A = this chain, B = another copy of it.
Amino acid sequence: MKRRLLLVSNSTLHGSGYLDHCQQQITDFFGKDVRRVLFVPYALHDRDAYTKTARNKFKTLGYEVDSIHEAADPVEAVRKAEGIFIGGGNTFRLLKSLYDSKVVTEIRRRVMEDGVPYMGSSAGTNVATISISTTNDMPIVYPLTFAAIGLVPFNINPHYLDHDSSSRHMGETREQRITQYHEEADTPSVLGLREGCMLLVEGDKATLLGSTKARLFTRGKPTVEYDPGSDLSFLLTDAH
C-alpha cells in the first residue's frame, strides 16, 4: 500500500496565519519531488478567493498550486496530480461537490494505488475517512451519501473540543455527539483531533504529529488519549 496522507485538524491555529502551524509538516510531507499541488476548494463558496489563499501560502513553501475548479476536466486534473490538498469549509458542500465532479473514485485510486500524497485539512480531513458522519458542520446541502473517499478505515472528528465546564450552554458536548454516533450499530472508531494536531499516514504506519493530544473513541470501549508522536498504526487495520 503506497498511501501517504497528512490529515490536519484545522487550517488555522489561534494567533497564527493560514496553515502556519503545520507548514513544517507540509514541506516534510510533499518533499522535494512534488512541485505542483492540486488544490480542491469545494468546501467554500468563493473558490477563486480560496484558491488565492492556498496558492499564496503554498508559494511560500515552494509549491505551485493548480485548482481543480480551474481545470476543464476535474477527473483529468486528478489523474495528472503530483499531490492533492483538500481544504476546509463546509463538509457537506465539499462531499457533494466531490461527487458532482465525479472525482471521488479517481482520488481514491491515485492515493491508494499510485501513492499520490493527499493532504486534508478540517473538512478535507473528514472526506478522507470512511464517512462524514463525524463532521461538526451544518448539513447545508444534501449529498448523495455520507460515505467519503475512504482512505482510512475509521472516522475523524477535526477541531475536537473538550467540554468547557464553565459553560452554561446545554447543547450536546462533542463527546456526547460522538457517543451518540457509537450508539448506532457497526460504527467505526473516531479519532478526535484537537486543533494543533494532525495524523501522518505512510503505508500502514500512522503517527500523531503536532502540538496537541488526540482522543480516540471506540464503540463499547473507554476513550483513550494519545500524545503527539504516538504510533496509531493499529487504526489502519480493518477491525477499526
- Report the contact-size class of chain A (Cβ under 8 Å from the partner): 35 or more
Inter-chain contact A184/B140, CB cutoff 8 Å: yes
Chain-B contact segment, one of A53-61, A166-174, A226-234? A166-174
Residues of A within 8 A of B (CB): 10-15, 45, 89-90, 92-93, 132-142, 145-146, 159, 161, 168-172, 177-178, 180-181, 183-184, 187, 195
Given A138-B134, A139-B139, A146-B139, the answer on whether A45 and B159 have CB atoms closer than 8 Å is no
* Contact A161 B169, beta carbon cutoff 8 Å: yes
Q: Is there an interface contact between B136 and A171, defined as CB atoms closer than 8 Å?
A: yes
Copies of this chain, complex-wide, total 2
- In the complex, which of the residues B138, B139, B184 contacts A178, with contact meaning CB atoms closer than 8 Å? B138
A57 to chain B, nearest CB (A): 16
Bound-state CA distance A201–B91 (Å) is 33
Q: How far is the CB of A165 from chain B (nearest CB, A)?
A: 12
Assembled-state Cα–Cα distance A55/B52 (Å): 56
Q: Which residues of B contact A140 (CB under 8 A)?
A: 133-134, 177, 180-181, 183-184, 187
